């Protein structure tokens, strides 16, 4: 009898901690490049209201490198870039003998480059529908299938049209209605790159984002559905000075590596793919020349990055000091804002995390956390278990109303 009572108690506790699947909905929204301090800096009305009615993190810590593609994909896989394989915006892959570029649509839509189990496919495996209005990885069948509803990326699509589509998906008949939806906006990143994070143009873009949030929240409130709204970004932005002294010229390395190594420059950091004698020559040239940058062998990168076990990471990795950028032609660099720097030592790389809805505790502030923990949070809200990932449900479980 005592054994039966114990099993019954355990069952009730487990059910309370892990809600039944199919009873909740989650809309995950990313404002690319939205820095952690913008809401306070610009006193954004709708963001402030959502914070009062929900949960807000001090900041969300991007994965290294703090670039758009690896971090958006970390958010929806719960894996560090070194583990999910999308290690940068641009990188060389020795198996395909190709350089992955986010501007190459064929590569972006090639599932070879994407590992892990994205949320939209995890949801499908648990008998629910999923949808994505633009998100890294959603345009290819990573784990064998596409989201039930998805759009190929087209930056010209209006922001209101994107919001309308999300609401229309939530108005579908129950059997067709997606329980997980991702939604992406790029304009903040574009404006803050072009003008810098402190420019009047950036403030205008952020106030527009605030209007969009207000509209989306209002539309969700009009639905008779238990929708959790989660607002994130992939990274912040660092103010840059457009002066040649802030550009690190490594053209000499390029000359040595000609036809003997692959160099992929991401501005804030540079991958050099090489081995043997060429590797030693490059390291010799870099010796005692670390002026505003650090040199790492792949296997010796900081443990906090979780960035040393993937063959797509350069054999040599050069990482610039914040405010500096690698360039073979400084005249080509026109950005007043940049990212990609070490998010653990560069506060300006901090991203946002805000959550709101009937399953989220109100007026709750939480400390900074890594973005890999968003995945298990969403899975928990939806009542499904996760595969083996880097993130843990324990980090954010306390913000959920069970």
What b/e readout covers 318-354, taking b as 16+ CB neighbours within 10 angstroms? Answer: bbbbbbbbbbeeeeebebbbbbbbbbbebebbbbbbb
Contact of 89 with 69, CB cutoff 8 Å: yes
Q: Answer whether 163's CB lies under 8 Å from 212's CB.
A: yes
In angstroms, rounded to a whole number, what is the distance separating the alpha carbons of residues 327 and 330?
A: 6
Query: Is 23 annotated as catalytic?
Result: no
Burial class of residue 282 (count of CB atoms within 10 Å of its CB; 0-12, 13-18, 19+): buried
Beta bridge partners of 326: 248
Q: How many other C-beta atoms lie within 10 A of the C-beta of residue 385?
A: 12
What is the secondary structure of 176-224 as a DSSP string?
T-EEEEEEEE-HHHHHHHHH-TTSHHHHHHHHHHHHHHHHHHHHHHTSS
Count Cα neighbours of 221 within 13 Å in the Cβ-side half-sphere: 9
- 189 burial (CB, 10 Å; 0-12 / 13-18 / 19+) is buried
Tell me the two tokens of residue 39: 């809401």
Kindly give the pairing relationship between strand 316-320 and strand 238-239: unpaired
| b/e map 117-137, b = 16+ CB within 10 Å | bbbbbbbbebebbbbbbbbbb
Catalytic residue among 68, 77, 90, 386: 68
User: Among all chains, which residue has been given the structure tokens 């400084």?
Assistant: 330
Residues with catalytic roles: 68
């Amino acid at each position: 009898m005592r054994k039966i009572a114990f099993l019954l108690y355990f069952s009730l506790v487990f059910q309370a901690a892990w809600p039944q699947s199919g009873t909740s909905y989650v809309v995950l929204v990313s404002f690319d490049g939205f820095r952690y301090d913008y809401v306070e800096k610009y006193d954004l009305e709708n963001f402030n209201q959502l914070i009062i009615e929900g949960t807000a993190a001090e900041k969300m810590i991007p994965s290294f490198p703090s670039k758009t593609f690896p971090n958006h994909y970390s958010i929806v896989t719960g894996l560090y870039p070194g583990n999910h394989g999308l290690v940068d915006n641009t990188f060389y892959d020795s198996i395909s003998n190709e350089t992955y570029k986010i501007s190459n649509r064929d590569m972006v839509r090639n599932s070879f480059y994407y590992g892990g189990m994205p949320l939209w496919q995890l949801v499908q495996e648990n008998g629910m529908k999923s949808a994505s209005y633009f998100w890294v990885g959603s345009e290819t069948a990573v784990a064998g299938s596409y989201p039930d509803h998805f759009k190929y990326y087209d930056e010209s699509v209006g922001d209101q049209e994107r919001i309308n589509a999300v609401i229309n998906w939530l108005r579908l008949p129950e059997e067709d209605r997606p329980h997980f939806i991702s939604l992406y906006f790029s304009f903040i990143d574009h404006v803050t790159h072009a003008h810098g994070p402190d420019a009047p143009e950036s403030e205008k873009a952020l106030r527009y984002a605030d209007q969009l949030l207000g509209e989306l929240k209002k539309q969700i409130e009009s639905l008779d559905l238990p929708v959790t709204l989660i607002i994130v970004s992939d990274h912040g932005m660092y103010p840059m000075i457009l002066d040649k002294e802030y550009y690190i010229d490594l053209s000499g390395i390029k000359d040595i590596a000609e036809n003997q190594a692959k160099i992929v420059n991401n501005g804030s950091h540079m991958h050099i793919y090489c081995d043997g004698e060429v590797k030693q020559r490059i390291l010799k040239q870099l010796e005692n020349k670390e002026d505003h940058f650090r040199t790492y062998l792949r296997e010796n990168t900081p443990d906090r990055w979780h960035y040393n076990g993937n063959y797509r990471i350069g054999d040599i990795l050069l990482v610039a000091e914040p405010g500096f950028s690698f360039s073979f032609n400084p005249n080509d660099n026109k950005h007043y804002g940049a990212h990609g720097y070490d998010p653990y030592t560069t506060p300006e790389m901090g991203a946002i995390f805000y959550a709101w809805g009937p399953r989220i505790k109100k007026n709750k502030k939480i400390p900074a956390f890594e973005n890999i923990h968003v995945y298990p949070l969403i899975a928990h809200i939806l009542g499904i278990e996760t595969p083996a990932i880097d993130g843990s449900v324990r980090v954010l479980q306390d913000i959920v109303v069970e």
